[in-house]
Amino acid sequence: MVLGLTFYVLRVLITGITGFAGGHLAELLLEQSYQVYGTYLHPGSLENLPELQRKASLYPCDLTQLESVQAVVKQVHPDLIYHLAGISHVQKSWSSRETTLKVNLFGSLNLLESVRNFAPSARILVVSSSEVYGKVPPDLQPIPESFPLRPITPYAVSKASLELLCYPYLYGDKLQIVIVRPFNHTGPRQDPSFACPDFARQIAQIEKSLREPKIYVGNLEARRDFSDVRDVVKGYQRVLEDGEGGEIYNIASGQAYSIKDLLDILISLSLADIQISLDPDRLRPSDIPLLLGDNTKIRHQLGWQPEISIRDTLQAILDYWRERV
């Protein structure tokens, strides 16, 4: 401590702190000595994050209940808000359309209303999705932020609607809002309902003779722009702290991999003899063949770019599941 100087520690609120990206973001900010607060919905989501329970202040909160959200914002009175909470699974949104809109759109409305009334000086990062771009012809990719939105899934519609919802608060209420559109990201602790952890878990089970040496897959031809979640949350921080209010930033690697590319890398990291089998239940009703992001804006304006190679990311996911099956 320096005599005569007062140090102010920024208060950070992360909605969905126990989610995949939320947990990694919290770890990053705690390492930098921020005062971290977070919301979670299900108590079971705390089980894999014991250190987070010790170092952050956590609040149960249902975004769809205005009183619940207001209570957290009033108590925390955050300086910075990372809004990550919501339904994030594209495929499952087809069977839960109403819930997807209720949580992702109207839950976000409750948060913005609470901030407007109780923490209007807070700076807010709203996490949208690259899915809002929809099916873009390959010759028009990589996709810049200026590309028209053409959401074709219930999940994408909820995120595109969320972006539009921000504008009255941004321009009418003068809230400080920045929006990110992350492309696909993966890494340790991602739910196995997503492709990379699903494959890694199956491989780890095969290695321990817990299942037949066969991996069940959906569409392997879809190509996606993948980044490591640990790089992505650094991008979130860079945008919230240094990005221009009202702007939208892609969080993308700028390189597309087919799902088969990722599976081949994972299999190459194992000594097991593994076969691949198509499972129709894993196919999406509407699968976009290519989704590749243009990260020029965030690279040039904010200096962010991914650092972790896709092979190192997949190795980390496989090692994570090897410890848990």
CATH number at residue 166: 3.40.50.720
Q: What is the pLDDT of residue 11?
A: 98
User: 240 vs 102, 209, 252, 255, 263, CA distance in Å?
Assistant: 25, 46, 16, 24, 34
DSSP 244: P
Percent of the chain with pLDDT over 70: 97
Q: Average model confidence (pLDDT) for the chain?
A: 94
158 and 278 fall within a common domain: no
Sheet holding 256-258, edge to edge: 256-258, 223-225, 290-291
Q: Predicted confidence band at 320 (pLDDT cuts at 50, 70, 90)?
A: very high
Q: For residue 52, what are the domain limits? A: 11-186+226-254+294-308
| CATH for 276 | 3.90.25.10
286 and 299 fall within a common domain: no
Choice between 293 and 90, residue whose per-residue pLDDT is larger: 293
Sign of CA dihedral 149, 154, 160, 161: positive
Q: What is the pLDDT of residue 91?
A: 82
Q: Average the pLDDT over each of 41-50, 142-151, 217-226, 302-311 and give the range with the smallest value.
A: 41-50
122, amino acid identity: A
pLDDT tens-place string over residues 228-266: 999 999 999 999 999 999 999 999 999 999 999 999 999
Q: What is the pLDDT of residue 285?
A: 63
pLDDT tens-place string over residues 40-66: 998 888 887 888 889 999 999 999 999
**For the chain, how big is the Rg over CA atoms in Å?**
20
How far is residue 54's CA from residue 130's CA, in Å, rounded to a whole number? 34
Report whether 298 contacts 181 (CB < 8 A): no
pLDDT tens-place string over residues 174-215: 999 999 999 999 999 999 989 999 999 999 999 999 999 999
Total count of domains within the chain: 2
Whether the per-residue pLDDT at 274 is higher than 60: the answer is yes
pLDDT tens-place string over residues 101-137: 999 999 999 999 999 999 999 999 999 999 999 999 9
How far is residue 12's CA from residue 249's CA, in Å, rounded to a whole number? 21
For 15-45, b/e burial (b = at least 16 CB within 10 A) is bbbbbbbbbbbbbbbbeeebbbbbbbbeeeb
Whether the per-residue pLDDT at 4 is higher than 90: the answer is no
Whether the link from the prior residue into 142 is cis, omega within 30° of 0, is yes
- Alpha carbon 20 to its chain's center: 7
Choice between 150 and 42, residue whose per-residue pLDDT is larger: 150
Residue 109 lies in a domain: yes
Whether the per-residue pLDDT at 282 is higher than 90: the answer is no
How far is residue 39's CA from residue 118's CA, in Å, rounded to a whole number? 17
Q: Predicted confidence band at 21 (pLDDT cuts at 50, 70, 90)?
A: very high
Q: Predicted confidence band at 2 (pLDDT cuts at 50, 70, 90)?
A: very low
Q: What is the pLDDT of residue 159?
A: 98
| Confidence (pTM) | 0.94
94 and 148 fall within a common domain: yes
126 and 205 fall within a common domain: no
63 and 121 fall within a common domain: yes
214 and 137 fall within a common domain: no
250 and 210 fall within a common domain: no
Whether the per-residue pLDDT at 284 is higher than 80: the answer is no
How far is residue 58's CA from residue 15's CA, in Å, rounded to a whole number? 10
How far is residue 153's CA from residue 310's CA, in Å, rounded to a whole number? 27
Q: Predicted confidence band at 286 (pLDDT cuts at 50, 70, 90)?
A: low
- Vertex 48, ends 46 and 49: CA angle to 5°? 65
Residue 3 lies in a domain: no
